[in-house]
């Protein structure tokens, strides 16, 4: 019996005949849901619920709705609700498109532009990084950029890191200056790696048979044919090839990578400690680590980094809200309404990122984010040693 496999771009009925008996195998391929239908049936309800939680959180925590006219009590600043939603949207998009959460951009923006610098800024940003990647998670899963075998062990490490990191924030990084200094170093590390990787991409030295070379060839072929210039064909997913002996082999677009499960766990734990102490999701460290050690492209590493930031942030929030008060008697509450409103925008932005990533070459993504990240980090580090003529 003959068999034909078809991608999601095909429609209708495909018939194949073969053999003396002219047996027929028919595969009915349904058209994937439209972008509009996916948004209105999946994303919009989630965004609406998170927005409602923002209003409920404000009245339950403070008894009123802070905003442009009334300051958020824990933050001590006045900011319009639309501004928080907008912040979540653009940080969610720019970071999810390279497999990260909004926190590493939202945190410096919150501290420098909005001037929310007290201890509650950490769990508040952690709330954003917990909810913001949900849009990207569903979007990447529908794109088949999803592999639980790859995500499992790094997420388990994130659980350990999420339990330890908040205690580091409460002790070693309780003051603003040391805290922003560590944020600055983290930004410089992430920005430098992204800039270096983008420089290699602009020089067009793609490894033969690698994902970036295939992306460029596919995008050119589709442009020449008058089609949308996505560089990754529909139906290409991240598959598990083998698992055992402490090692995992995954494949994407006929390219394979083998990773060590213990290394994934330890990496997840160490990144989790740093990230939970800062109140961010950890993608800003995981992405360059995965890219440098294993040579994973952005289109693959999102399968681990997006679930990781959700798990880490959830554990970090639990630690800040339950475990830290139980052991120290110190309660660090997030500004719940602030976090929910920013997360509503972040969910939308990260979903848009999942839908557009396949159209954007990696080196453009890395150059855009690397330049901004490195400059911001450098300013934070300089401000630790010298007083800048402007506030950051």
Give the Cα separation of 63 and 56 in Å (integer). 9
Three-class DSSP labels, the chain: CCCCCCCCCCCEEEEEEECCCCEEEEEEECCCCCHHHHHHHHHHHHHHHHHHHHHHHHHHHHCCCCCCCCCECCCCECCCHHHHHHHHHHHHHHHHCCCCCCHHHHHHHHHHCCCCCCCCHHHHHHHHHHHCHHHHHHHHHHCCCCCHHHHHHHHHHHHHHHHHHHHHHHHCCCCHHHHHHHHHHHHHHHHHHHHHHHHHHHCCCCCCCCHHHHHHHHHHHHHHCCCCCCCCCCCCCEEEEEEECCEEEEEECCEEEEEEHHHHHHHHHHHHHHHHHHCCCCHHHHHHHHHHHHCCCHHHHHHHHHHHHHHHHHHHHHHHHHHHHHHHCCCCCCCHHHHHHHHHHHHHHHHHHHHHHHHCCHHHHHHHHHHHHHHHHHHHHHHHHCCCCCCC
Q: How many CA atoms lie within 13 A of 368 on its CB side?
A: 13
pTM of the entire structure? 0.75
Contact 77, 352 (CB under 8 A): no
Q: What is the pLDDT of residue 201?
A: 59
Give the Cα separation of 104 and 369 in Å (integer). 11
What tokens appear for 131 in the block? 């909810």
User: Rounded to a whole number, what is the distance in angstroms from the first to the last CA of the chain?
Assistant: 68
Which residues of the chain register pLDDT less than 70?
1-33, 99, 197, 200-235, 358, 360-363, 365, 368-369, 372, 389-392
What tokens appear for 249 in the block? 């082999």
Closest CA to 200 of 364, 359, 356: 364
């Amino acid at each position: 019996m003959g068999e034909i496999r078809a991608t999601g771009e095909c429609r209708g009925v495909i018939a194949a005949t073969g053999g003396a008996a002219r047996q027929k195998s028919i595969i009915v391929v349904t058209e994937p849901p439209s972008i509009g239908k996916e948004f209105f049936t999946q994303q919009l309800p989630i965004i609406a619920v998170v927005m409602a939680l923002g209003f409920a959180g404000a009245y339950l925590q403070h008894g009123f709705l802070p905003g442009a006219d009334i300051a958020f009590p824990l933050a001590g600043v006045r900011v319009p609700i639309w501004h928080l939603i907008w912040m979540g949207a653009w940080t969610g998009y720019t970071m999810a498109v390279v497999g990260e959460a909004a926190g590493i951009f939202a945190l410096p923006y919150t501290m420098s532009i909005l001037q929310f610098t007290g201890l509650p800024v950490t769990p508040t940003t952690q709330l954003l990084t917990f909810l913001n990647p949900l849009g990207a998670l569903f979007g990447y899963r529908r794109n088949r950029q999803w592999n639980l075998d790859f995500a499992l062990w790094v997420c388990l490490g994130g659980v350990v890191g999420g339990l330890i990191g908040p205690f580091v924030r409460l002790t070693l990084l309780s003051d603003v200056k040391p805290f922003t200094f560590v944020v600055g170093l983290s930004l410089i590390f992430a920005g430098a790696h992204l800039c270096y990787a983008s420089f290699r991409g602009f020089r067009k030295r793609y490894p033969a048979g690698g994902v970036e070379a295939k992306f460029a060839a596919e995008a050119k072929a589709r442009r020449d044919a008058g089609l949308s210039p996505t560089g990754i064909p529909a139906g290409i997913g991240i598959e598990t090839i083998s698992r055992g002996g402490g090692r995992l082999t995954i494949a994407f677009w006929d390219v394979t990578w083998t990773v060590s499960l213990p290394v994934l766990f330890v990496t997840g734990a160490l990144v989790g400690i740093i990230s939970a102490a800062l109140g961010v999701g950890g993608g800003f460290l995981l992405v360059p680590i995965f890219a440098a050690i294993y040579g994973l492209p952005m289109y693959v590493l999102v399968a681990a980094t997006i679930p990781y930031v959700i798990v880490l942030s959830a554990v970090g929030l639990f630690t800040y809200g339950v475990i830290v008060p139980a052991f120290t008697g110190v309660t660090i509450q997030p500004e719940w309404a602030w976090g929910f409103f920013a997360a509503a925008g972040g969910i939308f932005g990260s979903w848009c990122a999942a839908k557009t990533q396949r159209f954007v070459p990696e080196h453009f993504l890395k150059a855009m984010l690397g330049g901004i990240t490195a400059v911001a980090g450098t300013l934070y580090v300089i401000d630790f040693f010298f007083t800048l003529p402007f506030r950051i």
